[in-house]
Structure 1
């Protein structure tokens, strides 16, 4: 499988750790990871946004690993934030986890199911 980033000069620059378009060539597998929540297996929810985001990414990484994939296989991230003020923490943690990998990205302000949860993240991975 090959991934090719497409950031055309005719569209706004992709800033914040993503690419405007990500082409996946010769993929044989797609994994759709449901929206992951900031809870551990015992139902504990951290209080602050960065800790919630790290826990969500740990849940995503665990799901990917279960299928033999890594964050390098992620082609699309959709993040649902309960408040715009969480954007900086979300971006910082996502950048920590993904490093130089820049998948396609959407961030949505939304009402989150549980009021303790500040955000929820879903991904699509390909191999």
Structure 2
């Protein structure tokens, strides 16, 4: 079993790499992660949004991997940024993260996060079967 991802034909295609719909297989466990910020495994926080994005996505993967789940099990990602990121760099990091099967995704710009130095927060929902 795996998560099914769809972009229905009667809706405009995604405007960047994501999927409109993720379907969780029957009987799967639902894993809900708290928002992950851009610190590395030692708690260091890069000053740039791209570095924080990379770390936040890696934190999501580390948490999921601790439960035997890979990026393929992600059903929904929410990304909050406090400043623009360089698009090409973002797409490179994003592509490495999802490995060619982007989940349902929401990305938004906000005025601030929990601490002034934080520029990125990523929340993920995943399925384990």
Q: Same fold (TM over 0.5)?
A: yes
Q: In the alignment, does 2:122 pair up with 1:121? A: yes
Q: CA RMSD in A?
A: 1.7
Q: In the alignment, does 2:99 pair up with 1:99? A: yes
The residue aligned with 1:55 is: 55
**Structure 2 stretches lacking a partner, 5+ long:** none
The residue aligned with 1:30 is: 30
Q: Which runs of 4+ in 1 moved over 4 A?
A: none
Partner SS state of residue 34, structure 2: strand
The residue aligned with 1:112 is: 113
Structure 1 Cα separation of the partners of residues 42 and 3 of structure 2: 37
- How many Å apart are 1:87 and its aligned residue? 6.4
Structure 1 Cα separation of the partners of residues 90 and 34 of structure 2: 18
The residue aligned with 1:75 is: 75
- How many Å apart are 1:33 and its aligned residue? 1.0
Query: Please, what TM-score do these two structures have when normalized by structure 2?
Result: 0.86
Partner SS state of residue 61, structure 1: helix
- How many Å apart are 1:100 and its aligned residue? 0.7
Q: In the alignment, does 2:88 pair up with 1:86? A: no
Query: Please, what TM-score do these two structures have when normalized by structure 1?
Result: 0.88
Deviation by residue 1:51-85 (Cα, 9 ceiling, x = unmatched): 111111221111011111111111100001112x2
The residue aligned with 1:21 is: 21
Partner SS state of residue 45, structure 2: coil
Conservation of the 8 A alpha-carbon contact between 2:79 and 2:123: yes
**Structure 1 stretches lacking a partner, 5+ long:** none
Tell me the matched-pair count: 126
